[in-house]
């Protein structure tokens, strides 16, 4: 299967299926000398792990990562870093029916249309479990970015149409609740809605917001590798993401230039913008301001309500899906959004080292 490689300088290749033996990733291009151990990766994987709350799939997986190569005496060696997580809780029998029909909203139909053959167990490679490998690679990228002082974090912004109040934003609260919500007052309302939809056998969608702090101006390559274009590709490649919006986003199309333009001003810090509708990106290049964007997720396609579909015997049928599914994808995807953002940004930061002769000289010396 092609399309499993992301990045030019910091290049990741993922492999594995939901109910296969293992999932994993090879990271090629990580600089040497980065201190790295399994615990650095594990803490991110634990945030993505299933079965941790009543708003996630009950599938229980240890998701224990093994670093197979590229690290010696606690430091990266500059050679490919291979990481693997073995699957331990497959219940493939729950999915045997999916072999004969197509789940509405899932990738069963299109995989068959493309390959004529598919690993239907747990959705194979189209499963949300595939994101585990992205998170492992993203954890390495986040470690490198931290050394450069660049911080990336994401949180739940909206679920089922209930939006958090940014005035009540509490960063520390994000990690203290199972929905990764930064607004204490919104939590109860959103939690009740998720539990209600889960009890109905239905699912629910939502929005993740992500922020990148301390990115210097100049990151991003015009024309095809723009910063916003590459982050958009990274985010839109996550299953169930249906829209990406940078800065003022859709709202920019509804207001006037005089309202949307960010005016410049000299301050003691140099040139700054008076507002940040651009979301920290102008012409596909970082402008030194905070980069912020939103990722819009559809409701989980596998629901337990009766649905209509077709089977391979040419019949129109009604189905009731079995298996273990997330009633909402958003909370488990927060760390996936952080990981994919880190991969896109680190790749462009590394590419920028040869963007002009002064940079190149600094690196060459
Ligand atoms: C973290 C994560 C968890 C997911 N969990 C499930 C799940 O439990 N059940 C399901 O049907 N889809 C789940 N999905 C979504 C499917 O992978 C996705 O909808 C499917 O591949 C079809 O792709 P599309 O929605 O982008 O068209 C999950 C996605 C992510 C990112």
Residue pLDDT, tens place only, 301-328? 999 999 999 998 899 999 998 877 889 9
Q: In this predicted structure, what is the pLDDT of residue 174?
A: 97
Instruction: List all residues 6 or more positions away from 326 whose beta carbon is below 8 Å from its beta carbon.
Output: 50, 55, 56, 57, 128, 203, 300, 332
Asked if residue 129 has its Cβ within 6 Å of ligand 1, the reply is no
Q: In this predicted structure, what is the pLDDT of residue 93?
A: 66
Q: In this predicted structure, what is the pLDDT of residue 326?
A: 86
The answer on pLDDT for 290 being more than 60 is yes
Q: In this predicted structure, what is the pLDDT of residue 136?
A: 98
Given a contact cutoff of 8 angstroms between Cβ atoms, the answer to whether 193 and 160 are in contact is yes
Q: In this predicted structure, what is the pLDDT of residue 330?
A: 97
State the Cα–Cα distance between residues 216 and 25, nearest whole angstrom: 29
Selected residue with higher pLDDT from 362 and 164: 164
| Spacing, Cα 49 to ligand 1 middle (Å) | 14
Cα 118 to its chain centre, rounded Å, is 24
The three-state (H, E, C) secondary structure of the chain, written as one string: CCCCEECCCCEEEEEECCCCCEEEEEEECCCCCCECCHHHHHHHHHHHCCCCCCCCCCCCCCCCEEECCCEECCEECCCCEEEEEECCCCCHHHHHHHHCECCCCCCHHHHHHHHCCCCCHHHHHHCHHHHHHHHHHHHHHHHHHHHCCCEEEEEEEEECCEECCHHHCCHHHHCCCCCCCCCHHHHHHHHHHHHHHHHCCCCECEEEEEEEECCCCCCCECCCECHHHHHHHHHHCCCCEEEEEECCHHHHHCCCHHHHCCCEEEECCEEEECCCCCCCEECCEECCCCEEEEEEECCCCCCCCCEEEEECCCCEEEECCCCCCCCECHHHHHHHHHHHHHHHHHHHHHHHHHCCHHHHHHHHC
Q: In this predicted structure, what is the pLDDT of residue 221?
A: 97
Asked if residue 131 has its Cβ within 6 Å of ligand 1, the reply is yes
Given a contact cutoff of 8 angstroms between Cβ atoms, the answer to whether 188 and 313 are in contact is no
Encode burial over 228-238: b for 16+ CB neighbours within 10 A, e otherwise.
bbbbbebbeeb
State the Cα–Cα distance between residues 110 and 125, nearest whole angstrom: 12
Q: In this predicted structure, what is the pLDDT of residue 325?
A: 85
Q: In this predicted structure, what is the pLDDT of residue 62?
A: 87
**pLDDT tens digits, one per residue of 226-266:** 999 999 999 999 999 999 999 999 999 999 999 999 999 99
Asked if residue 56 has its Cβ within 6 Å of ligand 1, the reply is no
Selected residue with higher pLDDT from 121 and 217: 217
State the Cα–Cα distance between residues 261 and 274, nearest whole angstrom: 10
Question: Which of these CATH numbers, 3.20.20.70, 3.40.50.300, 3.60.150.10, 3.90.580.10, describes 5-364?
Answer: 3.60.150.10
Q: In this predicted structure, what is the pLDDT of residue 77?
A: 98
**pLDDT tens digits, one per residue of 102-154:** 999 999 999 999 998 888 887 889 999 999 999 999 999 999 999 999 999 99
The answer on pLDDT for 1 being more than 60 is no
Asked if residue 126 has its Cβ within 6 Å of ligand 1, the reply is yes
What tokens were used for 120?
């239907």
Q: In this predicted structure, what is the pLDDT of residue 83?
A: 98
State the Cα–Cα distance between residues 147 and 149, nearest whole angstrom: 5
Query: What pTM value is reported for the model?
Result: 0.96
The answer on pLDDT for 175 being more than 90 is yes
| Spacing, Cα 48 to ligand 1 middle (Å) | 13
Q: In this predicted structure, what is the pLDDT of residue 108?
A: 93
| Spacing, Cα 298 to ligand 1 middle (Å) | 9
The answer on pLDDT for 90 being more than 70 is no
**pLDDT tens digits, one per residue of 59-86:** 677 899 999 999 999 999 999 999 999 9
Asked if residue 329 has its Cβ within 6 Å of ligand 1, the reply is yes
Instruction: List all residues 6 or more positions away from 5 whose beta carbon is below 8 Å from its beta carbon.
Output: 11, 12, 13
| Spacing, Cα 344 to ligand 1 middle (Å) | 21
Average pLDDT, the chain: 94
The atom of ligand 1 lying closest to the CA of 325 is 8
Q: In this predicted structure, what is the pLDDT of residue 322?
A: 82
What tokens were used for 354?
């040869």
State the Cα–Cα distance between residues 52 and 54, nearest whole angstrom: 7
Given a contact cutoff of 8 angstroms between Cβ atoms, the answer to whether 152 and 145 are in contact is yes
**pLDDT tens digits, one per residue of 329-358:** 999 999 999 999 999 999 999 999 999 999
Instruction: List all residues 6 or more positions away from 136 whose beta carbon is below 8 Å from its beta carbon.
Output: 24, 25, 41, 44, 45, 65, 83, 85
| Spacing, Cα 173 to ligand 1 middle (Å) | 26
The atom of ligand 1 lying closest to the CA of 298 is 25
Q: Count Cα neighbours of 292 within 13 Å in the Cβ-side half-sphere.
A: 15
| Spacing, Cα 282 to ligand 1 middle (Å) | 32
């Amino acid at each position: 299967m092609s399309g499993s490689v992301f990045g030019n300088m910091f290049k990741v290749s993922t492999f594995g299926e939901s109910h296969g033996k293992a999932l994993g990733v090879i990271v090629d291009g990580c600089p040497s000398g980065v201190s790295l151990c399994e615990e650095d990766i594990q803490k991110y994987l634990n945030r993505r792990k299933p079965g941790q709350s009543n708003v996630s799939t009950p599938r229980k997986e240890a998701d224990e990562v093994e670093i197979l190569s590229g690290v010696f005496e606690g430091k990266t060696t500059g050679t490919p870093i291979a990481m693997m997580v073995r699957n331990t809780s497959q219940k493939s029998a729950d999915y045997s029916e999916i072999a004969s029909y197509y789940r509405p909203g899932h990738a069963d139909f299109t995989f068959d249309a493309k390959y004529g053959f598919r690993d239907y167990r747990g959705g194979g490679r189209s499963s949300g479990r595939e994101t585990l490998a992205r998170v492992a690679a993203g954890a390495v990228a986040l470690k490198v970015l931290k050394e450069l002082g660049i911080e990336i974090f994401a949180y739940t912004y909206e679920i089922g149409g209930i939006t958090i109040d940014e005035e009540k934003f509490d960063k520390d609260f994000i990690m203290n609740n199972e929905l990764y919500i930064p607004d204490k007052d919104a939590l109860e309302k959103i939690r009740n809605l998720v539990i209600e939809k889960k009890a109905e056998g239905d699912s629910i969608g939502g929005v993740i917001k992500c922020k990148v702090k301390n990115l210097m101006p100049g990151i991003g390559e015009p024309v095809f590798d723009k910063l916003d274009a590459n982050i958009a590709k990274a985010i839109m490649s996550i299953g169930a993401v249906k829209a990406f919006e940078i800065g003022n986003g859709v709202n920019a199309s509804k207001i006037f230039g005089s309202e949307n333009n960010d005016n410049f001003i000299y301050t003691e810090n140099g040139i700054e913008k008076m507002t940040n509708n651009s979301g920290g990106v102008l012409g596909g290049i970082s402008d030194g301001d905070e980069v912020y964007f939103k990722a819009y997720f559809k409701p989980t396609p596998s629901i337990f309500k009766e649905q209509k579909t077709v089977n391979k015997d040419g019949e129109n049928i009604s189905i009731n899906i079995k298996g273990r599914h997330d009633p909402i994808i958003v909370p488990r995807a927060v760390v996936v959004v952080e990981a994919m953002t880190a991969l896109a940004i680190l790749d462009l930061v590394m590419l920028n080292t040869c963007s002009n002769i002064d940079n190149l000289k600094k690196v060459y010396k």
